[in-house]
Amino acid sequence: MKANYRLYLVTEESVPVEELLFKVEEAVKGGVTLVQLREKLSSGNLFYEKAKRLKKLLAQYHVPLIINDRVDVALAIDADGVHIGQNDIPLSVVKEIVPDSMIVGVSVSTVEEAREAEKNGADYLGVGAMFPTRSKSDAEELPSGMLDSILENVSIPIVAIGGIQLNNLAEIRDKNIAGIAVVSGIMKADDPFIAAKAFRNSFQ
């Protein structure tokens, strides 16, 4: 499945399955183009169950599902992609064990990491944190100008992530990025459909 990174939803930790499915479906109806399932605190069994059900739901809307960190879960449910961080299994190893059709993304925060990821076959980069964020406690805010430097040095799609809300989106809207990744701005919204629509309309 071809990826459209325009409005990239990252799920929040430990949301009950039925609530997760409801929120994601509403967000997709509102304009989310890609979903990443992030479950660092869940057991492997629960992660697998959520991933399997989410994949079935998203397939109805032709929206790709990316699995965060867990290559085994991505393979087990035939996910559309997997996203890894700097401390996860090396990208070169991931590329050896996943099918060529699987999208592989990498989190980066420096030009060196971005170049290395592109060289080793990453399909896209998650660059951040753009702004202070509570969704990922160890994420440091990018120095001023770093996003521009990374954009100048790689040619694969870049998704900006970290603390992106409607009130700060204007600061990155005009950059040459493929998309924005949103977590709490949609997942914690009273109405994920309306929130997703607002982000989509604000980032055309």
| Residue numbers belonging to the annotated binding site | 36-40, 68-69, 88, 107, 133-136, 163, 183-184
Element at 7 (helix H, strand E): strand 7-10
* Whole-number Å distance between alpha carbons of 193 and 197: 6
* Whole-number Å distance between alpha carbons of 137 and 144: 20
Q: Is 107 a catalytic residue?
A: yes
Q: Is 137 a catalytic residue?
A: no
Q: Which residues are annotated as a binding site for Mg(2+)?
A: 69, 88
Catalytic residue among 38, 50, 70, 197: 38
Contact partners, residue 177, CB within 8 Å, separation at least 6: 127, 147, 151, 158, 159, 160
Contact partners, residue 94, CB within 8 Å, separation at least 6: 71, 82, 84, 104
Q: Is 53 a catalytic residue?
A: no
Whether residue 130 contacts residue 163, with contact meaning beta carbons closer than 8 Å, is answered with yes
Catalytic residue among 55, 107, 109, 197: 107
Token pair, residue 158, equals: 């870049």
Q: Which residues are catalytic?
A: 38, 107, 136
